[in-house]
A = this chain, B = another copy of it.
Amino acid sequence: MVGSEKVRKIYKESERGLKVPFKEISLSNGETVQLYDTSGGYFYDENPELKKIRKEWIEKRKDLKNPTQMAFAKMGIITEEMEFVALREGVDKEFVRKEVAKGRAIIPANMNHPESEPMIIGSQFLVKINANIGSSEIVADENCEVEKLKASIRFGADTVMDLSTGGNLYKIRENIVRKSPVPIGTVPIYETFERCQKKIENLDFAIFKDVLIEQAEQGVDYFTIHSGILKNNLEKAFKRTTGIVSRGGSIIAMWMCNTQKENFLYTNFDEILEILAKYDIAISLGDGLRPGSIADANDESQFSELKTLGELTKLAWEKNVQVMIEGPGHIPINLIEENIELEKKYCFDAPFYTLGPLVTDIGMGRDHITSSIGGALMAFYGASMICYVTPKEHLGLPQLEDVKEGIIAHKIAVHSADVARGNKMAINWDLQMSKARADFRWEDQFNLCLDRERVYDYFSRSGKPLSENENYCSMCGPDYCPMKMVKKIKEST
């Protein structure tokens, strides 16, 4: 699965000598295109050796009490991570520092994950995508999850979440973190629930805290924590068409109903923050009450939780913990803009990280498309990261092929938002593709697209085989190719 030799990983060097990776494509007209490269080495090599590129940077900071990117940013310090992402995004590093200081962008970078290549999530940067992988209690295969990780990164995932709930959780996660050049997220309440033998009555904060510290030590870069779902939100949520559709949210809801106590992730929020600050783990404030159907979109349950997430954001920022806010879910097209406007307002411009949203409920079997429509629009309006949805959504645990389909669909979605938002790298990518198309430079088109194998396969097996230099494709055939006709006219005049 190695790409063409015309596609290679290059490094640009930053002011203080950091090596920042790009994917460079050599075109047949002599030009080159440089693209943001999420792939670590995995695009070019099945099993690249991951370097601990952040090791030295981290060692310098190890005696500091609060070594978060936000803390440094507030002190006016431009970290190596900030310089790295500035070059990666093609922006000024002081701008990066300011965005991180204000909480408008985050650089998830656990000190115990030195293999990760720094990346930034914020509305002023390229829109990112996350791939959810992980076992479930009925499908648990450790190797399979590493394969999903590799496929995710190869096709463009910016972060990966390990949502495993079955098999040896520690081992699966260890394999993933150590093999990952992108930040890894988890939902620690899942492992906590496992440790309670899935019995709500055994659940408490002490176990949760143990899990948190263990995962922090392993190198997880961000945690989804459902601290915003409160006792007084529950009754309304139960009356919805689809109630609660967040796994973490429903575990906490059950616990609250069982104990009649307030959410322990809310009441112990300070202690959680202290752990996160120590490792520079970002918090992704979970939306336990995200709508799970069009009927429930933008309702009081969602927005009352969102307000709580805003309050928690302020508390986290006081402790210099980097924050992003999770968002829905299922939202019709007409309500997407309101959804993100309220997020910006209630949560003080903290990055919005949404699951799609799905713009209709009937897309089962093709929900990667339903989600790409909503994700593109949400990103256009200012979301910073979109969690992919695979074709298996609502139906089963995604397999390797589903991961690939989910990634590519959402890569198209966020890239189209980048183009619409005027990102120069994104616009140039499109331009180079279109120029290659107009010139019948097929090999260049294959190298510029998101899935070389698929595209080459489609091209070559449609109708009569065509040599790569033919100036038409089987869609219109040689005598009906408009681009060929225009070329003829141009040449004759």
Contact = CB atoms under 8 A, between A and B. Distances in A.
A431 B486 contact: no
Nearest to A139: B463
A485 B251 contact: yes
Interface string A124-139: 0000000000001111
Interface stretch (A81-89, A95-103, A315-323, A388-396): A388-396
B370 A373 contact: no
Contacts of A363: 412, 449-450
Given A412-B366, A417-B333, A476 B427 contact: no
Interface residues of A, number: 109
A138 B365 contact: no
A384 interface: no
A475 interface: yes
Interface in A418-445: 419-422, 427, 429-431, 433-435, 437-438, 445
Interface stretch (A4-12, A62-70, A241-249, A301-309): A241-249
Contacts of A296: 434
A409 to B, nearest CB: 5
B137 A244 contact: no
Contacts of A462: 139, 392, 395-397, 399
A251 B433 CA distance: 24
B416 A479 contact: no
Nearest to A391: B458
Nearest to A239: B490
B246 A482 contact: yes
Interface in A444-482: 445, 448-451, 454-455, 458-459, 461-464, 473-482
Tallying the copies of this chain within the complex gives: 2
Contacts of A359: 376, 416, 419-420
A480 B247 CA distance: 6
A483 interface: yes
A392 B475 CA distance: 8
Contact of A474 (B138, B253, B477): B138
A416 to B, nearest CB: 4
A485 B244 contact: yes
A18 to B, nearest CB: 28
A169 interface: no
Interface string A248-283: 011101100100000000000000000000000000
A369 interface: yes
Contact of A433 (B361, B368, B450): B361
A26 interface: no
A377 B475 contact: no
A7 to B, nearest CB: 14
Interface stretch (A107-115, A287-295, A345-353): A287-295
Looking at A244, A335, A394, which has the most chain B CB atoms within 10 Å of its CB?
A394
Interface in A114-171: 136-139, 165-166
Contacts of A391: 458
B369 A409 contact: yes
Contacts of A461: 396
Contact of A420 (B332, B448, B458): B332
A180 interface: no
3 pairs of A and B residues whose beta carbons are closest in the complex: A396-B462, A293-B434, A250-B482
19 contacts: A137-B480, A138-B477, A238-B489, A241-B431, A249-B482, A292-B434, A292-B483, A293-B430, A295-B434, A333-B420, A361-B433, A363-B449, A366-B412, A366-B451, A369-B412, A370-B416, A372-B373, A373-B377, A399-B462
